[in-house]
């Protein structure tokens, strides 16, 4: 018995008519001989409505009650999807998280799935059920309370079910038809990728390409779940969408697979910091305590015992970071002359597993930007990624120039 997992996001189940269209896709996979586990999100807009109720009722809400309220949207879609499939004469039933049960940690609002026993659903499959419809995004804590997995959590639900049922594939139906070499709104030359490696997808997801929840990609990588991203709209064939898979299943030989970017980065510089051993800890300790997520860090060459320290962070954490650093200076643990924040920056990254075997990617990237007259403020690299911080006004130019330079519009 081969199990296929299909996940439909909020826009794919936004109306009864769209639920019917999604159910038809499920019906085709049943006709292909699969048992299908369908993971559904809430109808788009419903979760936001519920979150709005909670925030208006209690700005500092009890996360357990938040979860009890916001999880209800998925329950509605799951029941409606099961009814729609039944109308098509496909044996189906719905499952809420606690019914499976999807066992999670007690970290309400951001719970992690710990275990999905497969016996209840398998027994129903054995009795003739063809489709199990499961409410995504939710689970149940060891205390028997409802938990949610955080925004985008239905992707993670889908991958976790695919792992638990050893599924042949996990298809994520969404409002885009796959993963692109870059955002088509920035570069019209953007090309849909047929395949992408888990590690590349992870870098892209965390860099701001909002196709899949990062955690779902981590989970798919760990459990070797074949993950496919494809559109709920328009006709599909088996080769549709983008397959996120193991590195060895990828044939492309290019050093770079995609160009990512993020506008939500700010740059902060501490000027004339007294340079001494332990200075990095004196700066980043207080920031960490204040919950600031520092990304890139550059320390300038030290002169006469003083140095400048530059780092990047999410724009919405700048005020918190400034307070933490000024407090640290006032407390005497940190000595700097000035603190300068710059919100008009952007991060641009090239990502590709090919970098492991092909050298010269960094120097080529820097030359391309230099030729366009774009100044690089900060650089970070990983094994399969090079990121630069630049003035935000040059972001689109940089993305297009890099897309051209690495010939991403051409399939290899």
122 lies in the binding site for a second copy (CB under 8 A): no
39 lies in the binding site for a second copy (CB under 8 A): no
Using DSSP's 3-state secondary structure scheme, residue 380 falls into strand
* 47 marked as part of a ligand binding site: yes
Among 11, 44, 51, 99, the residue binding a second copy under the rule CB under 8 A is: 99
* 217 marked as part of a ligand binding site: no
80 lies in the binding site for a second copy (CB under 8 A): yes
89 lies in the binding site for a second copy (CB under 8 A): no
CB of 134 to a second copy, least distance (A): 12
Note whether 134 and 122 are within 8 A (CB).
Answer: no
CB of 140 to a second copy, least distance (A): 9
* 181 marked as part of a ligand binding site: no
CA–CA separation, 42 vs 45, rounded Å? 8
Joined tokens for residue 102: 């999807």
Using the structure block, give the residue that is written with the tokens 């630069």. Answer: 388
Among 32, 58, 288, 412, the residue binding a second copy under the rule CB under 8 A is: 58
User: Per CB under 8 A, which region of 57-65, 165-173, 201-209, 229-237 contacts a second copy?
Assistant: 57-65
Q: Which is nearer to a second copy, 54 or 158 (CB)?
A: 54
* 174 marked as part of a ligand binding site: yes
Among 72, 272, 342, 381, the residue binding a second copy under the rule CB under 8 A is: 72
Among 32, 48, 87, 305, the residue binding a second copy under the rule CB under 8 A is: 87
User: Per CB under 8 A, which region of 55-63, 224-232, 374-382, 385-393 contacts a second copy?
Assistant: 55-63
Note whether 348 and 387 are within 8 A (CB).
Answer: yes
22 lies in the binding site for a second copy (CB under 8 A): no
- Of 195, 188, 186, whose CA–CA distance to 262 is shortest? 186
User: Per CB under 8 A, which region of 72-80, 168-176, 206-214, 237-245 contacts a second copy?
Assistant: 72-80
Residues in the chain: 412
84 lies in the binding site for a second copy (CB under 8 A): yes
Give the helix ranges, DSSP H, for 131-248: 153-164, 198-207, 214-223
41 lies in the binding site for a second copy (CB under 8 A): no
93 lies in the binding site for a second copy (CB under 8 A): yes
26 lies in the binding site for a second copy (CB under 8 A): no
Residues whose CB falls within 8 Å of the CB of residue 260, separated by 6 or more in sequence, listed in order: 182, 203, 204, 207, 208, 209, 348, 349, 350, 351
Q: Which is nearer to a second copy, 87 or 264 (CB)?
A: 87
Q: Which H or E element spans position 287?
A: helix 279-289
Note whether 201 and 179 are within 8 A (CB).
Answer: yes
* 373 marked as part of a ligand binding site: no
| Of residues 130-159, those binding a second copy (CB under 8 A) | 144-146
Q: What long-range pairs does 339-344 form, CB within 8 A, spacing at least 24?
A: 339/268, 339/269, 339/270, 339/271, 340/268, 340/269, 340/271, 341/266, 341/267, 341/268, 341/269, 342/266, 342/267, 342/268, 342/269, 343/266, 343/315, 343/318, 344/391, 344/392, 344/393
CA–CA separation, 65 vs 75, rounded Å? 16
Q: Which residues bind a second copy (CB under 8 A)?
A: 16, 19, 50, 53-54, 56-58, 61-62, 64-66, 68-69, 72-73, 75-76, 78-80, 82-84, 86-87, 93-94, 96, 98-99, 144-146
């Amino acid at each position: 018995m081969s199990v296929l997992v299909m996940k439909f996001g909020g826009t794919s189940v936004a109306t009864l008519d769209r639920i019917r269209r999604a159910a038809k896709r499920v019906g085709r996979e049943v006709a292909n001989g699969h048992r299908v586990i369908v993971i559904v999100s809430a109808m788009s807009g419903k979760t936001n409505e519920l979150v709005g109720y909670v925030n208006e009722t209690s700005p500092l809400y009890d996360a357990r009650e938040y979860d009890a309220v916001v999880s209800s949207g998925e329950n509605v879609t799951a029941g409606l999807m099961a009814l729609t499939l039944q109308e098509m004469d496909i044996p189906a039933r719905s499952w809420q998280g606690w019914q499976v049960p999807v066992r999670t940690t007690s970290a309400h609002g951001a719970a992690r799935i710990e275990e999905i026993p497969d016996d209840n659903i398998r027994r129903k499959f054995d009795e003739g059920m063809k489709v199990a419809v499961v409410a995504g995004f939710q689970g149940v804590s060891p205390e028997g309370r409802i938990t949610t997995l955080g925004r985008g959590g239905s992707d993670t639900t889908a991958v976790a079910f695919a792992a638990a049922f050893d599924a042949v594939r996990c298809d994520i139906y969404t409002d885009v038809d796959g993963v692109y070499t870059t955002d088509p709104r920035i570069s019209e030359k953007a090309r849909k990728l047929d395949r992408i490696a888990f590690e590349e997808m992870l870098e892209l997801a965390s860099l701001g390409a909002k196709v899949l929840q990062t955690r779902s990609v981590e989970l798919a990588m760990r459990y070797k779940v074949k993950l496919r991203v494809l559109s709920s709209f328009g006709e599909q064939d088996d080769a549709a969408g983008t397959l996120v898979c193991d590195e060895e299943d990828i044939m492309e030989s290019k050093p770079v697979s995609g160009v990512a970017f993020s506008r939500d980065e700010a740059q902060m510089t501490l000027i004339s910091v007294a340079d001494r051993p332990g200075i990095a800890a004196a700066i980043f300790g207080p920031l960490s305590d204040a919950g600031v997520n520092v990304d890139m860090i550059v320390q300038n060459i030290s002169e006469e015992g003083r140095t400048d320290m530059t780092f990047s962070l999410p724009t919405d954490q700048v005020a918190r970071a400034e307070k933490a650093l000024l407090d640290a200076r006032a407390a005497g643990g940190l000595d700097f002359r000035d603190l300068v924040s710059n919100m008009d920056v952007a991060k641009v990254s090239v990502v590709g597993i090919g970098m492991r075997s092909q050298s010269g990617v960094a120097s080529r990237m820097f030359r391309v930007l230099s030729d366009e007259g774009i100044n690089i403020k900060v650089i970070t690299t990983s094994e399969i990624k090079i990121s630069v911080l630049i003035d935000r006004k040059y972001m689109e130019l940089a993305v297009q120039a890099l897309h051209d330079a690495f010939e991403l519009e051409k399939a290899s």
